[in-house]
Amino acid sequence: MPPRSATALLASAALIATFVIASPTEPAAAATSPFTDISDSAFKADIEWLYAEGVTTGCQATLYCPKDNVTREQMASFLARMFDLPSTASDFFTDDESSIHEANINRLAAAGITTGCTATTYCPKAYVTRAQMASFLARAADLIIGAGRNYFYDDNGTTHEANIDRSAAAGIASGCGTWRYCPAGTVTREQMAAFLHRVIAPVPSPPYPAPPPPTPAPTAMPTPAPNCAASYPTHCIPPPPPDLDCPDIPWTNFTVIYNVPDPDPHGFDGNQNGIGCES
Protein backbone atom coordinates (compact mmCIF):
# COMPACT_ATOMS: atom_id res chain seq x y z
CA MET A 1 0.00 0.00 0.00
CA PRO A 2 1.74 3.18 -1.17
CA PRO A 3 2.73 6.11 1.04
CA ARG A 4 1.33 9.55 0.28
CA SER A 5 3.39 11.05 -2.56
CA ALA A 6 4.87 10.08 -5.90
CA THR A 7 6.52 6.71 -6.58
CA ALA A 8 10.23 6.50 -5.74
CA LEU A 9 12.66 3.63 -5.71
CA LEU A 10 14.27 3.04 -2.35
CA ALA A 11 17.89 4.06 -2.03
CA SER A 12 20.28 1.20 -2.56
CA ALA A 13 20.40 -1.65 -5.03
CA ALA A 14 20.36 -4.15 -2.20
CA LEU A 15 17.25 -2.59 -0.77
CA ILE A 16 15.61 -2.38 -4.16
CA ALA A 17 16.21 -6.11 -4.47
CA THR A 18 14.49 -6.49 -1.14
CA PHE A 19 11.36 -4.49 -1.84
CA VAL A 20 10.11 -1.59 -3.96
CA ILE A 21 7.17 0.53 -2.80
CA ALA A 22 5.59 3.78 -3.83
CA SER A 23 6.94 6.43 -1.52
CA PRO A 24 6.77 10.10 -0.60
CA THR A 25 9.20 12.36 -2.40
CA GLU A 26 11.84 14.17 -0.36
CA PRO A 27 11.22 17.95 -0.19
CA ALA A 28 13.46 19.87 -2.60
CA ALA A 29 14.65 22.14 0.23
CA ALA A 30 14.76 21.89 3.99
CA ALA A 31 11.22 21.84 5.26
CA THR A 32 10.00 24.37 7.77
CA SER A 33 7.38 23.86 10.40
CA PRO A 34 5.69 25.91 13.11
CA PHE A 35 7.10 23.70 15.88
CA THR A 36 9.09 25.53 18.52
CA ASP A 37 9.98 22.50 20.64
CA ILE A 38 12.14 20.42 18.25
CA SER A 39 15.32 22.49 17.90
CA ASP A 40 17.34 20.16 20.16
CA SER A 41 15.80 16.91 18.90
CA ALA A 42 18.10 14.43 17.18
CA PHE A 43 15.14 13.72 14.91
CA LYS A 44 14.40 17.34 13.92
CA ALA A 45 14.89 16.67 10.20
CA ASP A 46 12.55 13.67 10.37
CA ILE A 47 9.89 15.74 12.13
CA GLU A 48 10.23 18.52 9.54
CA TRP A 49 9.83 15.93 6.77
CA LEU A 50 6.74 14.49 8.47
CA TYR A 51 5.18 17.95 8.63
CA ALA A 52 6.05 18.74 5.01
CA GLU A 53 4.38 15.51 3.90
CA GLY A 54 1.18 16.38 5.78
CA VAL A 55 1.48 13.36 8.05
CA THR A 56 1.41 15.46 11.23
CA THR A 57 0.16 18.85 12.35
CA GLY A 58 1.74 18.50 15.79
CA CYS A 59 0.22 18.13 19.23
CA GLN A 60 -0.65 21.84 19.27
CA ALA A 61 -0.46 24.64 16.73
CA THR A 62 3.22 25.35 17.43
CA LEU A 63 4.28 22.20 19.30
CA TYR A 64 5.17 18.67 18.22
CA CYS A 65 5.72 17.20 21.73
CA PRO A 66 8.69 15.10 20.53
CA LYS A 67 9.28 13.28 23.83
CA ASP A 68 5.67 12.18 24.34
CA ASN A 69 4.96 8.50 23.90
CA VAL A 70 2.82 7.56 20.90
CA THR A 71 -0.50 5.88 21.66
CA ARG A 72 -1.96 3.19 19.46
CA GLU A 73 -4.74 5.53 18.29
CA GLN A 74 -2.25 8.27 17.35
CA MET A 75 -0.14 5.73 15.51
CA ALA A 76 -3.20 4.72 13.47
CA SER A 77 -3.53 8.29 12.21
CA PHE A 78 0.20 8.59 11.46
CA LEU A 79 0.06 5.43 9.35
CA ALA A 80 -3.28 6.19 7.69
CA ARG A 81 -1.92 9.53 6.46
CA MET A 82 1.54 8.23 5.60
CA PHE A 83 0.20 5.37 3.48
CA ASP A 84 -2.94 7.19 2.28
CA LEU A 85 -5.19 4.34 3.44
CA PRO A 86 -8.70 4.27 1.95
CA SER A 87 -11.74 4.88 4.12
CA THR A 88 -13.99 2.03 5.16
CA ALA A 89 -17.54 1.69 6.42
CA SER A 90 -16.58 -1.22 8.69
CA ASP A 91 -16.31 -0.74 12.46
CA PHE A 92 -13.77 -3.27 13.73
CA PHE A 93 -13.43 -2.55 17.44
CA THR A 94 -15.67 -1.83 20.40
CA ASP A 95 -13.35 0.32 22.50
CA ASP A 96 -12.58 3.22 20.13
CA GLU A 97 -16.06 4.73 19.78
CA SER A 98 -15.07 7.95 21.58
CA SER A 99 -11.68 8.27 19.90
CA ILE A 100 -11.09 11.05 17.38
CA HIS A 101 -8.85 8.55 15.61
CA GLU A 102 -11.57 5.89 15.16
CA ALA A 103 -11.85 6.34 11.37
CA ASN A 104 -8.10 5.87 10.97
CA ILE A 105 -8.08 2.88 13.31
CA ASN A 106 -10.69 1.28 11.06
CA ARG A 107 -8.63 2.12 7.98
CA LEU A 108 -5.67 0.38 9.59
CA ALA A 109 -7.73 -2.72 10.35
CA ALA A 110 -9.32 -2.80 6.89
CA ALA A 111 -5.85 -2.69 5.33
CA GLY A 112 -4.71 -5.68 7.41
CA ILE A 113 -2.13 -3.63 9.31
CA THR A 114 -3.66 -4.35 12.71
CA THR A 115 -5.86 -7.02 14.22
CA GLY A 116 -6.23 -5.17 17.51
CA CYS A 117 -5.03 -6.08 20.97
CA THR A 118 -7.85 -8.65 21.24
CA ALA A 119 -10.37 -9.96 18.74
CA THR A 120 -12.77 -7.06 19.40
CA THR A 121 -10.66 -4.31 20.99
CA TYR A 122 -7.87 -2.03 19.82
CA CYS A 123 -6.58 -0.57 23.15
CA PRO A 124 -6.39 2.94 21.64
CA LYS A 125 -4.85 4.62 24.69
CA ALA A 126 -2.05 2.05 25.18
CA TYR A 127 1.43 3.13 24.19
CA VAL A 128 3.02 1.65 21.07
CA THR A 129 6.02 -0.56 21.81
CA ARG A 130 9.03 -0.79 19.52
CA ALA A 131 8.14 -4.42 18.78
CA GLN A 132 4.61 -3.47 17.74
CA MET A 133 5.97 -0.60 15.64
CA ALA A 134 8.05 -3.04 13.62
CA SER A 135 5.01 -5.19 12.88
CA PHE A 136 2.81 -2.22 11.94
CA LEU A 137 5.45 -0.97 9.50
CA ALA A 138 6.27 -4.39 8.10
CA ARG A 139 2.62 -4.90 7.21
CA ALA A 140 2.05 -1.36 5.95
CA ALA A 141 5.13 -1.37 3.70
CA ASP A 142 4.72 -5.02 2.62
CA LEU A 143 8.19 -5.98 3.85
CA ILE A 144 9.01 -9.59 2.97
CA ILE A 145 12.79 -9.92 3.26
CA GLY A 146 14.87 -10.41 6.40
CA ALA A 147 12.84 -12.66 8.68
CA GLY A 148 15.12 -15.08 10.50
CA ARG A 149 18.31 -13.07 10.09
CA ASN A 150 18.33 -12.40 13.84
CA TYR A 151 19.64 -8.83 13.86
CA PHE A 152 19.11 -8.48 17.63
CA TYR A 153 19.44 -10.85 20.56
CA ASP A 154 16.91 -9.20 22.88
CA ASP A 155 13.88 -10.01 20.72
CA ASN A 156 14.46 -13.76 20.58
CA GLY A 157 11.20 -15.62 20.91
CA THR A 158 8.92 -12.59 20.75
CA THR A 159 5.90 -12.65 18.49
CA HIS A 160 7.26 -9.64 16.60
CA GLU A 161 10.79 -10.97 15.98
CA ALA A 162 10.27 -11.74 12.27
CA ASN A 163 8.90 -8.25 11.60
CA ILE A 164 11.69 -6.64 13.62
CA ASP A 165 14.14 -8.48 11.35
CA ARG A 166 12.21 -7.35 8.26
CA SER A 167 12.27 -3.72 9.43
CA ALA A 168 16.00 -3.94 10.13
CA ALA A 169 16.66 -5.45 6.68
CA ALA A 170 14.73 -2.57 5.09
CA GLY A 171 16.81 0.06 6.91
CA ILE A 172 13.87 1.22 9.01
CA ALA A 173 14.96 -0.16 12.39
CA SER A 174 18.56 0.17 13.52
CA GLY A 175 18.14 -0.88 17.14
CA CYS A 176 18.65 0.82 20.49
CA GLY A 177 22.21 -0.42 21.08
CA THR A 178 24.72 -3.03 19.98
CA TRP A 179 22.75 -6.12 18.92
CA ARG A 180 19.72 -4.78 20.86
CA TYR A 181 16.30 -3.60 19.71
CA CYS A 182 14.58 -2.93 23.09
CA PRO A 183 11.31 -4.46 21.86
CA ALA A 184 9.32 -3.60 25.00
CA GLY A 185 10.39 0.05 24.94
CA THR A 186 7.80 2.64 24.01
CA VAL A 187 7.99 4.79 20.88
CA THR A 188 8.13 8.57 21.24
CA ARG A 189 6.71 11.00 18.72
CA GLU A 190 10.19 11.97 17.52
CA GLN A 191 11.16 8.32 17.11
CA MET A 192 7.92 7.72 15.21
CA ALA A 193 8.94 10.46 12.77
CA ALA A 194 12.25 8.69 12.17
CA PHE A 195 10.63 5.27 11.67
CA LEU A 196 8.26 6.70 9.06
CA HIS A 197 10.90 8.76 7.27
CA ARG A 198 13.13 5.71 6.91
CA VAL A 199 10.44 3.95 4.90
CA ILE A 200 11.52 6.17 2.01
CA ALA A 201 14.99 7.20 3.22
CA PRO A 202 16.42 4.03 4.80
CA VAL A 203 19.51 3.92 6.97
CA PRO A 204 22.15 1.16 6.68
CA SER A 205 20.96 -2.17 8.04
CA PRO A 206 22.74 -3.43 11.17
CA PRO A 207 24.97 -6.50 10.91
CA TYR A 208 23.60 -9.99 11.50
CA PRO A 209 23.28 -12.53 12.98
CA ALA A 210 23.45 -11.30 16.54
CA PRO A 211 25.59 -13.27 18.99
CA PRO A 212 23.96 -14.99 21.96
CA PRO A 213 22.91 -12.57 24.68
CA PRO A 214 25.52 -11.96 27.38
CA THR A 215 25.20 -13.97 30.55
CA PRO A 216 23.87 -11.65 33.23
CA ALA A 217 25.91 -11.25 36.38
CA PRO A 218 24.44 -12.99 39.42
CA THR A 219 22.14 -10.73 41.36
CA ALA A 220 20.71 -10.96 44.81
CA MET A 221 17.23 -12.42 44.86
CA PRO A 222 14.78 -9.55 45.38
CA THR A 223 12.79 -9.42 48.55
CA PRO A 224 9.12 -9.07 47.73
CA ALA A 225 7.04 -6.41 49.42
CA PRO A 226 4.36 -7.76 51.75
CA ASN A 227 1.61 -9.47 49.78
CA CYS A 228 3.33 -8.79 46.43
CA ALA A 229 4.45 -11.58 44.10
CA ALA A 230 8.25 -11.38 43.74
CA SER A 231 8.07 -12.27 40.05
CA TYR A 232 6.61 -8.83 39.22
CA PRO A 233 9.18 -6.35 40.61
CA THR A 234 7.74 -3.19 39.02
CA HIS A 235 4.19 -3.58 40.32
CA CYS A 236 2.66 -4.90 43.51
CA ILE A 237 0.53 -7.77 42.25
CA PRO A 238 -0.61 -10.18 44.98
CA PRO A 239 0.08 -13.88 44.56
CA PRO A 240 -2.82 -16.30 44.08
CA PRO A 241 -5.45 -16.81 45.17
CA PRO A 242 -7.25 -15.60 43.24
CA ASP A 243 -5.59 -16.41 39.93
CA LEU A 244 -5.51 -13.19 37.90
CA ASP A 245 -5.54 -12.67 34.14
CA CYS A 246 -4.21 -9.68 32.22
CA PRO A 247 -7.66 -8.01 31.93
CA ASP A 248 -7.86 -8.08 35.74
CA ILE A 249 -4.93 -5.68 36.19
CA PRO A 250 -4.28 -2.15 34.84
CA TRP A 251 -0.72 -2.77 33.56
CA THR A 252 0.77 -4.05 30.31
CA ASN A 253 4.32 -4.70 29.11
CA PHE A 254 5.81 -5.04 32.59
CA THR A 255 8.88 -6.98 33.73
CA VAL A 256 8.54 -10.61 34.77
CA ILE A 257 11.51 -12.29 36.48
CA TYR A 258 12.06 -15.96 37.05
CA ASN A 259 14.92 -16.22 39.57
CA VAL A 260 12.45 -16.17 42.45
CA PRO A 261 10.30 -18.77 44.19
CA ASP A 262 7.03 -19.40 42.37
CA PRO A 263 7.92 -17.50 39.16
CA ASP A 264 5.06 -15.88 37.21
CA PRO A 265 2.34 -17.40 39.40
CA HIS A 266 -0.44 -15.81 37.33
CA GLY A 267 0.98 -16.80 33.94
CA PHE A 268 1.11 -13.21 32.66
CA ASP A 269 4.19 -13.99 30.50
CA GLY A 270 2.87 -16.69 28.21
CA ASN A 271 5.89 -16.80 25.90
CA GLN A 272 8.35 -16.40 28.78
CA ASN A 273 10.21 -13.48 27.21
CA GLY A 274 10.26 -11.49 30.44
CA ILE A 275 7.37 -9.21 29.51
CA GLY A 276 4.01 -9.60 31.22
CA CYS A 277 0.65 -8.89 29.53
CA GLU A 278 2.42 -7.93 26.31
CA SER A 279 0.10 -5.84 24.14
Average pLDDT over residues 54-63: 95
At residue 101, the 3 state secondary structure works out as: coil
pLDDT band for 17, please (50, 70, 90 cuts). very low
* CB neighbourhood size of 128 (10 A): 24
Helix-helix angle 130-140:161-169, to 10 degrees: 60
- Residue 58, classified by CB atoms within 10 Å of its CB into exposed (0-12), middle (13-18) or buried (19+), is buried
pLDDT band for 21, please (50, 70, 90 cuts). very low
- Could you report the per-residue pLDDT of 195-250, keeping only the tens digit for each? 999 999 999 999 999 998 887 766 555 555 678 998 888 899 999 988 999 989 98
pLDDT confidence of residue 202: 97
pLDDT band for 271, please (50, 70, 90 cuts). confident
pLDDT confidence of residue 4: 55
pLDDT confidence of residue 7: 34
What value does the mean pLDDT of the chain take?
87
Average pLDDT over residues 152-159: 93
Tell whether the model's pLDDT for residue 66 goes beyond 70: yes
- Could you report the per-residue pLDDT of 137-146, keeping only the tens digit for each? 999 999 999 9
The model's pTM is: 0.70
Burial 25-42 (b: 16+ CB within 10 A, else e): eeeeeeeebebebbeebe
